[in-house]
């Protein structure tokens, strides 16, 4: 199997019975820069979304474009490539995103759909077309490097090439949907295909995104104005540091997550951690755009270096980072529903689920399928196969939710409101002055 297929690819039916598979779609991580040469060879390892080497290019393009780009966006990586690896850039004939590369391998077509293309930095999101003026501001060649856009998220981009079908053990004629980035697919798999439905994803990165019938444009760049996989929009906010922060505590004390959770639940400090604040920016940060920030533990007093307290502080730091962005999203016009859908590895932790409910002041529900991105890809594939719209198909086949509903504890709301003010203030004092 091609190494590119070791990511998020899913069949529309049970993959344990390959002959029954009739359609597939691909979910892939966003922003990654895949550059192909004259003979479609990969010219260098892909630069991933979390690569912040292009921070200087992001600042420069922000000034040119008139809105704040973060280093994650693909166009900043392409400009970095031009300056730091000019021979590779000169040899580049096509720029793809990770899931586009897999689609090309599957079908032989080089195309890009709107949801993932939203993360390149050169898509006119409202107009749903390439922003050629932005491309020209980077380099005259850029227009030639990006592939055509897929007009509709509801239409197939092709069928499996015969040699690929044989290699995968699938029948000829399997339909390939356009796919999308992992967040757009996760929204489908979590049932967030109606206006205001909001998802929090707790993985290596933390993301919060919501379905919206209108684009939410934020010139500060904190809210990404993405298109979704249904023809609407998916305003999104992403942080670089989420579950990794908890791993730091686990590694430091040599305790497993269950034991640390027990200690955190029993710790006397409780919500707000008695004033201890963990700024979780271990690898810099995307939101806010502080690529040179670092992690910081503040408010320590004698006796605070307790594993339970630090574990709760890690949970709260990662949560407050997302909550800060969510408050900005609502201020910009998002009207969320009454519940948060929680996905990702962090959603397995019972304390973290409660902290999210308490800090956001919203009920938390969990999709029954934990891999919401893969399920979303399968739902899109099924819709494309049946010739219906993705939004209608998801409405008719809503992903099931677990019976558990985590309700917020109103007694904890004040502690988290105070903690958020402290979190934002300390972050600005330490890191905002380093951002142009």
pLDDT of residue 19: 64
Query: Among all residues, which ones are annotated catalytic?
Result: 182
Per the CB < 8 A criterion, the answer to whether 409 and 356 are in contact is: no
User: Taking 70 as the threshold, does the pLDDT of residue 45 lie above it?
Assistant: yes
* Mean pLDDT value of segment 256-279: 97
In terms of pTM, does the model score above 0.75?
Answer: yes
User: Taking 50 as the threshold, does the pLDDT of residue 11 lie above it?
Assistant: no
pLDDT of residue 196: 83
275: left (phi over 0), alpha (psi -120 to 50) or beta: left
Question: Own/partner pairs for 424-428, CB < 8 Å, 24+ apart?
Answer: 424/324, 426/277, 426/279, 426/296, 426/298, 427/279, 427/281, 427/288, 427/290, 427/293
User: Taking 60 as the threshold, does the pLDDT of residue 416 lie above it?
Assistant: yes
Percent of the chain with pLDDT over 90: 76
pLDDT classification of 16: cutoffs 50, 70, 90: low
CA atoms of 132 and 386, how far apart (whole Å): 35
* Mean pLDDT value of segment 27-35: 95
User: Taking 60 as the threshold, does the pLDDT of residue 5 lie above it?
Assistant: no
User: Taking 60 as the threshold, does the pLDDT of residue 224 lie above it?
Assistant: yes
Task: Return the structure tokens found at 125.
Answer: 């999101």
pLDDT of residue 434: 58
Helices (H) and strands (E) in the chain, counts: 16, 18
77: left (phi over 0), alpha (psi -120 to 50) or beta: alpha
Q: What is the DSSP string of 3-15?
A: GGGGSEEEESS-T
pLDDT classification of 202: cutoffs 50, 70, 90: very high
pLDDT top residue among 18 and 363: 363
Which domains are assigned to the chain?
A: 3-176 (3.30.420.40), 183-436 (3.30.420.40)
pLDDT of residue 241: 95
Would you give the DSSP letter of residue 96?
A: E
Task: Return the structure tokens found at 217.
Answer: 């444009």
Q: Which of 62-76, 260-274, 323-337 has the lowest mean pLDDT?
A: 323-337
Percent of the chain with pLDDT over 70: 95
């Amino acid at each position: 199997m091609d190494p590119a297929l070791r990511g998020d690819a899913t069949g529309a039916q049970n993959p344990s019975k390959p002959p029954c598979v009739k359609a597939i779609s691909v979910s892939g991580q966003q922003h990654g820069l895949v550059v192909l040469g004259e003979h479609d060879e990969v010219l260098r390892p892909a630069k991933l979304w979390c690569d912040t080497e292009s921070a200087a290019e992001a600042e420069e393009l922000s000034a040119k474009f008139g809105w704040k780009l973060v280093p994650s966006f693909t166009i900043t990586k392409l400009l970095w490539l031009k300056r730091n690896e000019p021979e590779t850039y000169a040899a580049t004939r096509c720029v793809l995103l990770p899931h586009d590369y897999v689609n090309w391998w599957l079908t032989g077509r080089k195309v890009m759909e709107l949801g993932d293309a939203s993360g390149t930095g050169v898509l006119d999101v409202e107009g749903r077309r390439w922003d050629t003026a932005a491309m020209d501001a980077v380099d005259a060649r850029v227009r030639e490097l990006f592939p055509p856009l897929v007009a509709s998220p509801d239409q197939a981009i092709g069928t499996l090439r015969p040699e690929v079908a044989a290699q995968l053990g699938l029948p000829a004629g399997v339909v390939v949907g356009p796919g999308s980035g992992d967040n757009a697919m996760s929204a489908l798999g979590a049932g967030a295909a109606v206006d205001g439905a909001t998802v929090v994803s707790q993985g290596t990165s933390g993301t919060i995104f919501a379905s919206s019938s209108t684009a939410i444009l934020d010139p500060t760049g904190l809210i990404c104005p993405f298109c979704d996989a249904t023809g609407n929009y998916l305003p999104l906010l992403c942080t670089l540091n989420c579950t990794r922060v908890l791993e730091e505590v686990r590694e430091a004390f040599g305790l497993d997550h269950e034991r640390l959770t027990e200690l955190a639940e029993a710790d006397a400090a409780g919500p707000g951690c008695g004033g201890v604040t963990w700024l979780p920016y271990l690898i810099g940060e995307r939101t806010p755009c502080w690529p040179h920030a670092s992690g910081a533990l503040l408010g320590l007093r004698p006796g605070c270096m307790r594993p339970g307290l630090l574990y709760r502080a890690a949970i709260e730091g990662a949560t407050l980072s997302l909550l800060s962005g969510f408050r900005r999203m609502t201020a910009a016009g998002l009207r969320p529903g009454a519940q948060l859908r929680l996905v990702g590895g962090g959603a397995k932790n019972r304390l973290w689920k409660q902290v999210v409910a308490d800090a956001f002041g919203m009920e938390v529900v969990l999709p029954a399928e934990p891999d919401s991105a893969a399920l979303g890809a399968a739902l899109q594939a099924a819709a494309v196969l049946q010739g219906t719209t993705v939004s209608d198909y998801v409405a008719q086949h809503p992903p099931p939710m677990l019976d558990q509903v985590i309700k917020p504890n109103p007694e904890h709301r004040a502690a988290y409101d105070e903690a958020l003010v402290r979190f934002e203030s300390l972050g600005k004092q330490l890191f905002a002055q380093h951002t142009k």
